Amino acid sequence: MRLNKHLTSAHDLSSRRQFVRSVIYGGLAFYGMPAFARASKPPLGHVVIVGAGFAGLTAAKYLREWSMGNIKVSIVEPNPQFISCPQSNLVLGGSRTLDELSFSYDLARKRHGLQWIKDTVTAVDIANKQVTLSRGNLRYDRLVLAPGVDFDYSRIPGMSSPVDDVPHAWKAGRQTLQLHQQLESMPDGGVFVMTIPAAPYRCPPGPYERACQVAHYLKKNKPRSKVIILDANADITSKKGLFLQSFQGAYQGIIEYHNNSSILQLDTASKTIKTDFETVKADVLNVIPPQLAGKVAQTAGLANVDQRWCEVDFTTYASNVNPDIHIIGDSISAGLPKSAHMATSQAKICAAAIVDIQSGIPPNPLPVFANTCYSFVDDKQAMHVANVYRYDPAKKSMVSAEGGGVSTKASVQEGDYAQAWAQNIWADTLT
């Protein structure tokens, strides 16, 4: 209570600003804050976060740390566990299990004093600053949406809704296991067909990494089999030269890459796909659907770019449609890769900005952050793309700084780095 009184009764706003600024500048952790201080009315308001993936959970942690517990954070997430999409392609290749990619939320929840609500947001009442849950309404001072991507089946001719036998496995979980089992059941000499939607979609190099992982499994276990990639894009969208080294090297005769191959008609019963150039029949069919911002961002009317993605201010991640609502991660329109590292970097800029806004001080006008993304081509070798991004006020976007780039080739050393990346980003997000 004294903390609350101290902060809210102070008429000298500058001293309050100094208090918060000093906390941020000092980079102090919140771990030692006693329970009674946390239980009092939050001096810097209540932030509700929708979605506990890489973006949402990171925002929650850093909002608590950088506000020194002076912002109350509630997080709404329907799923009981955190399942890492990064490395989930390795489950298909056989070098990872889904158990190794599954985590408990409990440590982050307890350590950071998060109010955890296992539920789904069905509506956002912008005028009254509240969200509707299945068990009632929740009021907020600021709302952060981190819902990831949703799938748009209306754009797949012949598959207007999900089909049990045709997994996307583009959100790690049961479908990852299902696709792995289908691969194990496929006869030697079978055909694995994967369709890639037009960009933007979650994890640009992900489909090509998946093709390599499936080919790695087939080469070892069913060497007469094939992987056919039907890519709606004009070319490989990420790490092109590096993936071609694998397609034309280790996996020559196994992987066939077909560009400009949008689905004209799909028959899920016979697993047959017609494109402009050919008709392909699959034994195992993996359709990665076209994507758009997570449902809650759509229903809140924030998907203002092609009615698919959300436009934001990159200094705060406030929606350009409604500045009281922040959007981070895969749902935003950014021209940047939709990666886990990108999601956590955005979440940190957003968290710092919200602490500033709630304290009455202007957010950093020139944010800078890094992105590193690894792809595995087999069980041991990986390659990276790495860039620094800085805000360009004239372009109002995050622009890739000079000097970024990709590996010269996939290597075991980078495979080790990729494992280290995973351990560290999991620890940063989940502890």
In the region spanning residues 52 to 111, those forming contacts with other proteins, defined by CB under 8 A, are: 62, 66, 68, 79-81, 83, 98-104, 106-107
Judged by CB under 8 A, the chain residues 369 through 388 that form the site for other proteins are 369-370, 372, 384, 386-388
Nearest approach in angstroms of CB 208 to other proteins is 19
Contacts for 19 with CB less than 8 Å, ≥ 6 apart: 7
Nearer to other proteins, 280 or 289 (CB): 289
> Token match 């069919």: residue?
285
From the list 311, 316, 320, the residue with the least C-alpha distance to 366 is 316
Question: Which position among 158, 173, 190, 301 is part of the footprint of other proteins (CB under 8 A)?
Answer: 173
Strand order in the sheet with 130-133: 121-125, 130-133, 136-139
Stretch that binds other proteins, among 141-149, 156-164, 182-190, 362-370 (CB under 8 A): 362-370
* By CB under 8 A, residue 356 contacts other proteins: yes
Q: How far is the CB of 110 from other proteins (least distance, A)?
A: 10
Least separation in angstroms between residue 252's CB and other proteins is 26
Q: Does residue 158 contact residue 266 with C-beta atoms inside 8 Å? A: yes
Q: What residues from 125 to 154 belong to the interface with other proteins (CB under 8 A)?
A: none
| Distance between CA atoms of residues 192 and 215, nearest Å | 9
Of residues 34 and 136, the one with the C-beta less far from other proteins: 34
Tokens of 20: 């918060």
Among 17, 37, 132, 313, binds other proteins (CB under 8 A): 37
Nearer to other proteins (CB atom), residue 262 or residue 372: 372
Instruction: Work out how close the CB of 60 gets to other proteins at its nearest, in angstroms, rounded to a whole number.
Output: 14
In angstroms, the Cα distances linking 334 to 30, 59, 339, 366 are 31, 18, 12, 16
Choose which of 132, 259, 364, 397 interacts with other proteins (CB under 8 A): 364
Nearer Cβ to other proteins (140/421) = 421
Residues 11-30 close enough to bind other proteins by CB under 8 A? 18-19, 21-29
Choice between 256 and 379, CB closer to other proteins:
379
Burial 88-127 (b: 16+ CB within 10 A, else e): bbbbbbbbbebeebebebeebbebbbbebbebbbeebebe
The three-point CA angle 119-125-126 to 5° equals 125
Which is nearer to other proteins, 180 or 226 (by Cβ)? 180
In the complex, the smallest distance separating the C-beta of residue 360 from other proteins, rounded to whole angstroms, is 14
Maximum alpha-carbon separation in the chain: 76
| Residues numbered 255-294 forming contacts with other proteins, rule: CB under 8 A | none
Question: Where does this chain touch other proteins (CB under 8 A) — which range of 146-154, 185-193, 242-250, 366-374?
Answer: 366-374
Residues 153-172 that bind other proteins (CB under 8 A): 171
Name the token pair of 274. 């017609």
The residue among 43, 124, 82, 99 whose CA lies nearest residue 344 is 82
Nearer to other proteins, 147 or 211 (CB): 147
Distance in angstroms (rounded) separating the CA atoms of residues 271 and 290: 18
Shortest Cβ 221–other proteins spacing (Å): 23
Q: How far is the CB of 399 from other proteins (least distance, A)?
A: 10
- Nearer to other proteins among residue 171 and residue 380 (C-beta): 171
Among 228, 367, 375, 381, binds other proteins (CB under 8 A): 367
- Percentages (nearest 5) of helix, strand, coil residues in the chain: 30, 25, 40
DSSP sequence for 215-284: HHHHHHH-TT-EEEEEESSSS--SSHHHHHHHHHTTTTTTEEEE-S---SEEETTTTEEE-SS-EEE-SE
Contacts of other proteins in 389-418 (CB under 8 A): 390, 400-405, 407, 411, 413-414, 416-417
Is residue 174 involved in binding other proteins (CB under 8 A)?
yes
Task: Compare residues 74 and 345 and give the one whose CB is closer to other proteins.
Answer: 345
Residue number, 110 or 281, with CB nearest to other proteins:
110
> Residue written as tokens 């990159």?
314
Tokens of 143: 């709302």
361-367-370-371 Cα dihedral, nearest 10 degrees:
90
What minimum distance in Å lies between the beta carbon of 156 and other proteins? 22
Residues 315-354, one symbol each (x = binds other proteins by CB under 8 A, - = not), give -------------------------xx--xx--xx--x--
How far, in whole angstroms, is CA 209 from its chain's centroid?
A: 17
Size of residue set near other proteins by CB under 8 A: 83
